[in-house]
Structure 1
Amino acid sequence: MKQPCVYMMANRRNGTIYTGVTSNLPRRAFEHREGLIKGFSSKYDCKLLIWYETHASMIDAITREKQIKAGSRAKKLALIESLNPEWNDLFDTLA
């Protein structure tokens, strides 16, 4: 079942952050972890799923992704810290 969501990957706590959108978070997070997605996330070794948010539609998820990407790093850090203050890898919590 597809579930639109926005997510953030990082290489370490307070490290480089990648923000993306997908309809299949377990698959996409796995692809990041294994380095199967070429580009920013593989270049900076962003393999930890540190934050995600589900949405009712892909349009809503894309809108939210753009809002997050347009925000400051401080806002991204506050968002992560509010839901995952220890920066735990959330990959194993996915169904």
Structure 2
Amino acid sequence: MHVYYVYILTNKNHTVLYIGRTKQLKVRLIQHKNNSIKTFTGRYNVYKLVYFETTKYINNAIKRERQLKKWNREWKINLINGLNPDWKDLSEYI
């Protein structure tokens, strides 16, 4: 059985939020951390995992990613604060 992840990354100042989805979160986080400056996450040093959720089905992950991307910033911040109020880097738990 596969597990799909929808995740939110931020930079050290929490000024930029990036939402993505993947089947291999650990691998994807390494890719983000090693990104070149030409990419969005590389340009803004967005590599701190502050939120993630899982689903069994890719269609659900795609739907949720699109939903979160449409949310305003305040809703995204409230979502993160609900599970990770200190905005700790959750990548160490993956």
TM-score norm. by structure 2 comes to 0.91
2:90 matched residue in structure 1:
90
Identical aligned residues as a percent: 35
For structure 2, list consecutive stretches of 5 or more residues without a partner in the other structure: none
Q: Which runs of 4+ in 1 moved over 3 A?
A: none
Is residue 2–residue 56 contact of structure 2 (8 Å, CA) maintained in 1? Answer: no
Q: List aligned pairs for 1:30-41, cutoff 5 A.
A: 30-35=30-35, 38-41=38-41
Distance in 1 of aligned mates of 2:49 and 2:57: 21
**1:36 CA displacement:** 5.5
Q: List aligned pairs for 1:1-95, cutoff 5 A.
A: 2-35=2-35, 38-94=38-94
Q: CA RMSD in A?
A: 1.7
Distance in 2 of aligned mates of 1:51 and 1:37: 23
TM-score norm. by structure 1 comes to 0.90
> Could you say what secondary structure the match of 1:86 adopts?
coil
Count how many residue pairs are aligned between Structure 1 and Structure 2.
94
Distance in 2 of aligned mates of 1:78 and 1:13: 17
Cα 1:6–1:38, aligned 2, differ >3 Å: closer, same or farther? farther
For structure 1, list consecutive stretches of 5 or more residues without a partner in the other structure: none
